[in-house]
Amino acid sequence: MKKNEIARQYSKALYEIGIEDDNLYELFKELKEFWQVLVDNQELKNVFFHQRILSEEKKKVFKKIFEGKISKELYKFIMLLIDKRRIYFIELIIKEFKKLVNKHENVITVQITTAIEITEEIREKLKSKLKEHIDKKFEIEERCDPNIVGGMIVKVGDYLIDGSIKSKLESLEDKIKKIPLQEIGV
């Protein structure tokens, strides 16, 4: 079975639990916090993702750290992932779960790519402009990519606005390449 299919199945199961218990967003928030704990603690992450550490040992570590600190639903879910050796897919499961939660909440993701980190002032102006043009709730995912040189790339669903200097330079290069050599005196 493919990784993405496994992630979809488990995220759908957690989604259904969240819908049934009317705590979908809380589960998502807790799941993100759990992932952040793993990201922030490489040693703990290594324990959960190490192939040679038995599931029983992983469950003991998980229980010691998280029992009583997260919801029963998420606790059981993570224990199941450890038991079924699916904890390795937790990041993909979170991404798939986020898609389901966003669809349920009618939230779209706006991806912003800039060469450098944007200031809070620019972020607020950007949010204001997006509110004028998007009639749904949205969340912004910011990425920094120095390769775009400057400007900004905005992606909303399948719609892409490429205002990067890199794309402008590539466009200029294409135009220059199309000029017949005779016109430039060569």
Is residue 99 located within the same domain as residue 123?
no
Domain count, the chain: 2
67 close to 59: Cβ distance less than 8 angstroms: no
| Type and span of the H or E element at 139 | strand 137-144
pLDDT digits (tens, 9 = 90+) for 53-72: 999 999 999 999 999 999 99
pLDDT-derived band at 173 (thresholds 50, 70, 90) equals: confident
Asked if residue 184 belongs to a domain, the reply is no
Residue 104 has pLDDT above 90, yes or no: yes
| Percent of the chain residues past pLDDT 70, beyond the cut | 96
pLDDT digits (tens, 9 = 90+) for 5-36: 999 999 999 999 999 999 998 999 999 999 99
Asked if residue 56 belongs to a domain, the reply is yes
Is residue 55 located within the same domain as residue 82?
yes
Give the pLDDT score at 184.
61
- Domain range for 55 is 3-103
Asked if residue 185 belongs to a domain, the reply is no
Asked if residue 85 belongs to a domain, the reply is yes
| Percent of the chain residues past pLDDT 90, beyond the cut | 73
Q: Give the single-character DSSP code of 148.
A: G
Question: DSSP labels for 16-73?
Answer: HHHHHHT-HHHHHHHHHHHHHHHHH-HHHHHHHH-TTS-HHHHHHHHHHHHTTTS-HH
Rounded (5°) CA angle 158-160-163: 175
Give the pLDDT score at 116.
93
